[in-house]
Structure 1
Amino acid sequence: MGAWLSAALVAPLVLTAGCAARQPDPRGERAPEVPAPSAEVLGLRLPTDAYLLSVDEIYDGEEAADLLTRQCMRERGFEWRLIDRPDFGDWRNRRRYGVIEPDVAKSFGYHHVPALLSPTEVYEEKHRRELALTPQEKKAATDEASGCQRRANDTLWRGIRYDDALAMRFSSKALAESAKDPRVLRAVRDWSACMRGGGHSYPTHAKAIGDARWDMAKPPSREEKAVAVQDVTCQERTGLVRTWFRVDSELQQKWIAAKPKEFQALRAAKRSFLERAEKVRENPGG
């Protein structure tokens, strides 16, 4: 219960799909815009994705919870400001295999950029809303035992058992296992040879990403970005990401097929939650 809340906290949200956002620079300077995802990224759809809530589905749940929270708060004599959540799209696998987009490599190197995976505006707006609450409003909204947010969450999830841990575990396990598959290892060797041809010696993809020369506390250096660009170029030449994605998908599908009842129940629970959230969004007072 409450899976959408935990997901929203883990992955700060939100940017309009197809638009760019400014990523804060550690020095306070204007940083490059975050590019929209490439066609390759949008094509990375893994079997377990169908059982896990996407950013947009999390937003649907949050919007429904906000509407229920507002209704509850009004009953207690308070207001609750709603937050606009635009459509985002499904970019969840954008960094699953590392930096794979030329534009991202050119601008950010190997740096972790939250807005590449999920936008930040909605998360920041929720934070501002909470900071603006009076002590009485905060207790009415967030009290763990009787708060309106808890009440809204219970309403949305009542009777629904959505245990996404199995799908998340299979997703993580498939990524780790696929990295050891002979087909992926062969592609990595080809990638490494390609990198040497460009003057960069890395035995594995992970070694390039984790090079100690990259200072993540500072903006990416020219050298880091140059290596990342070469990395992406070599991925394209060797088909590394295509091979890895194919093996990753095969493993996930195999494991899902081995537990049909569990995954059918998970899909049904997800569908029930989204249908309930949609009814609230269509008729918040009903």
Structure 2
Amino acid sequence: MRRLAPVCLALAAALLGCSSGSGSDEGGRPAGAAKTPTTSGSSTERLVTYSNRLPMARYSYTVAENTAIESAQHVLTRRCLKTYGIAYEPPKQPSDTTRPADRRYGLSSASEAARFGYHPNRDAAQLPEGPRLSKDDLTVFYGNRGAPQGSGEKLTYKGKDVPDDGCFGQSVSKLSEEYDDPAGAAVASRIANGSYQDSLSDPAVKEGFRKWSACMRSSGFRYASPMEPLNNSAFQGDTISEKEKETASADVRCKEKTDLLDIWFKAESEIQKTDIEKNTAALRKLLTAHHKKAQAASRIVAKG
């Protein structure tokens, strides 16, 4: 048996998101009202949500469905680890419920811009804890994900073979293989990503960019579109400069002045509606698969 290798605990956070199959920018269920009161730092502002209100959002998992699926994955993982004599309790989720502002169309929060510039909201950047297991037990948890690259040897633990993807990977696959709809997910991803790209060519959005750019110039900043400052290398280091904060604050202020965010959202929504009409059957099948997977997950959790 080859010696089991240590695992990067950061992988836990990445794997915990396996259930939904869609990025956060594609959203969850519609969040209700467009403007949701929230507190960021020392000031209170009304943060506008866009990702969760786009038409494609209804084809993502709900928060409750994601929670059920992740819980089921941990139940199955615990059962698997138990067969190796390993006791396991799922890691606790971060207690801080601070949510970052929607950034599908770049910065949208004045308070975040003033505090963090173009950097992520550090108050909302907590990741779930990794599993509290020993080095050898972690490799049973992760399988070859935690093994040295290129070893190619079969993992064993106390004489018993370990699944290639470990107990956790096997648990994720158990639900995915039976209920996931890769074809439907590919359609949803194509629409959600394509609609953003297509929105950049929408006449109303381009006119919004022009007005936003003119507003930025009046504040002493020369950018043709809101994507440009996001890609400014000077704003991507470890520190947040005053120039970055000033630029970011002007960015949000000009979006509010020109109504760019709402214009952009409306344009992309219309693009998505058209694409959804062309792919109704595939998306309905995907939604059915989501419901069935969440229901199966709930049954697993109920049995413990």
Under TM normalisation by the shorter chain, which class is it?
Answer: 0.7 to 0.9
Ranges in structure 1 where 5+ consecutive residues have no aligned partner: 12-17, 21-31
Q: Does 1:108 align with 2:121?
A: no
Taking the aligned partners of 1:148 and 1:282, their CA distance within structure 2 comes to: 20
TM normalised by structure 1 equals 0.76
Q: Which has the higher contact order (CA 8 A, sep 6+)?
A: 1
Aligned pair in 2 of structure 1 residues 36, 53: CA closer, same or farther (>3 Å)?
Answer: farther
Q: Does 1:40 align with 2:48?
A: yes
Taking the aligned partners of 2:68 and 2:114, their CA distance within structure 1 comes to: 34
* Contact 1:64 1:281 (8 Å CA) reproduced: yes
Aligned with 1:252 (options 272, 281, 284): 272
Taking the aligned partners of 1:231 and 1:221, their CA distance within structure 2 comes to: 15
Aligned pair in 2 of structure 1 residues 42, 189: CA closer, same or farther (>3 Å)?
Answer: closer
3-state SS of the aligned residue for 2:53? Answer: coil
**Aligned amino acid, residue 148 of structure 1:** C
Q: Does 1:74 align with 2:89?
A: no
Partner residue of 1:14? Answer: none
Partner residue of 2:218? Answer: 197
Aligned pair in 2 of structure 1 residues 268, 92: CA closer, same or farther (>3 Å)?
Answer: farther
Aligned with 1:152 (options 171, 191, 195): 171
- For structure 1, which segment, 235-244 or 194-203, has the greater mean C-alpha deviation from structure 2 after superposition? 194-203
Aligned with 1:172 (options 186, 193, 197): 193
Ranges in structure 2 where 5+ consecutive residues have no aligned partner: 1-14, 25-36, 144-161
Partner residue of 1:5? Answer: 18
Q: Does 1:219 align with 2:239?
A: yes
- The Cα RMSD (Å) is 3.5
TM normalised by structure 2 equals 0.72
Partner residue of 1:281? Answer: 301
Superposed displacement of residue 270, structure 1: 1.0
What does the per-residue CA deviation read over 1:216-265, in whole Å, with 9 as the maximum and x for residues that have no partner?
A: 22311111111111110110111101010111111111101101111011
- For structure 1, which segment, 264-273 or 149-158, has the greater mean C-alpha deviation from structure 2 after superposition? 149-158
Taking the aligned partners of 1:43 and 1:90, their CA distance within structure 2 comes to: 17
Aligned pair in 2 of structure 1 residues 199, 137: CA closer, same or farther (>3 Å)?
Answer: closer
Q: Does 1:236 align with 2:236?
A: no
Aligned length: 258
Aligned pair in 2 of structure 1 residues 198, 270: CA closer, same or farther (>3 Å)?
Answer: same
